[in-house]
Amino acid sequence: MYNFLLPNEFVTNIFEITPEKLHELGIRGIITDLDNTLVEWDRADATEELTIWLRIMKESGIRVIIASNNNEARVKHFAEPLGIPYIHKAKKPLRNAFYSALIQLGLRPKEVVMVGDQLLTDVMGANRLGLYTVLVKPVAQSDGLVTKFNRFIERRVFNDLKRKGIITWEEQE
């Protein structure tokens, strides 16, 4: 029942994802969500730690693109100073943004990981295309209005998964 909602992996934060780990998996590209994955949803710019992580990925030959459901002004302001391509108003979990990201990266689905903080948008959309999926614990404890609804559904899914004995990142704390 939850096949499309289960990520391949859970991590506490983006910094647990290393080039070495990605290379072992045959991953050459990252599609990443922005809000509450890379930075808090209300933070305008990248942190110094994130800037270093992105540079390390690039130097290791890992291509990165942001796919965000947020508006162009928000995503552009964040991505352009970092030199990262982006897709705004991605409408995840619909497939178009994921296809577009794969084309821009010049990679096949088995060579790409989707990193995000939401099951219903990031994980479900990427799983439907056969991408490797990593669910990140949200950076901030607060969310925008639409995300609050998604979190409500996610809590129900997580509770059901716990009852079935499937481990989630919530239990790794």
Please say if the pLDDT value at position 145 is more than 60.
no
Identify the structural domains of the chain with CATH numbers, from first to last. Answer: 3-172 (3.40.50.1000)
- CA dist 85 and 13 (Å) reads 21
Residue 46: CB atoms within 10 A of its CB come to 19
Average pLDDT, the chain: 88
Confidence of residue 151 (pLDDT cuts 50, 70, 90): low
Confidence of residue 172 (pLDDT cuts 50, 70, 90): very low
Amino acid sitting at position 69: N
Cβ-contact 74, 40 below 8 angstroms: no
pLDDT top residue among 165 and 23 = 23
Q: What is the pLDDT of residues 22-80, one digit of tens each?
A: 999 999 999 999 999 999 988 889 999 999 999 999 999 999 999 999 999 999 999 99
Biggest CA–CA distance in the chain, Å, is: 44
Q: Across residues 135-153, what is the average pLDDT?
A: 71
Cβ-contact 113, 37 below 8 angstroms: no
- CA dist 55 and 46 (Å) reads 12
- What pLDDT score does 169 carry? 53
3-class secondary-structure state, position 135? strand
Q: What is the pLDDT of residues 105-131, one digit of tens each?
A: 999 999 999 999 988 889 999 999 999
Comparing CA positions, the residue from 15, 41, 16, 17 lying closest to residue 113 is 17
Cβ-contact 31, 98 below 8 angstroms: yes
- What pLDDT score does 147 carry? 62
- CA dist 149 and 173 (Å) reads 24
How far is residue 92 from each of residues 46, 51, 52, measured CA to CA in Å?
22, 25, 27
